[in-house]
Amino acid sequence: ELSAIDFFLLFLETKTMQDELKAKEYLDRGDIDRAIIAYQRIRPMKARILNIIGHLCSEKKGDYTYALRCHTQALTLIHTPM
């Protein structure tokens, strides 16, 4: 049987997966701006998602400044002790 904490963590993971699938749907349609917005709404924010946003910003939008900010924030998340 799931504890309340386990249930909550499962809920968060399921919600994240649904939000990520929505962002991927936008990508499949070529709607980069909506895909980026959908990825930005994902919580909790993870380094992997920040790197996806950074990649989209640099490769699809040419926004290297924001891409660098996303990748830097991803590195910060990875190297921050919990």
Contact assessment for residue 37 and residue 18, using Cβ atoms and an 8 Å cutoff: no
- What pTM does this model have? 0.83
pLDDT band at 28 (very low <50, low <70, confident <90, very high): very high
For residues 59 and 3, the model is more confident at 59
Give the tens place of pLDDT for each residue, 40-72. 999 889 999 999 999 999 999 999 999 999 999
The predicted structure's pLDDT at residue 69: 98
The predicted structure's pLDDT at residue 82: 58
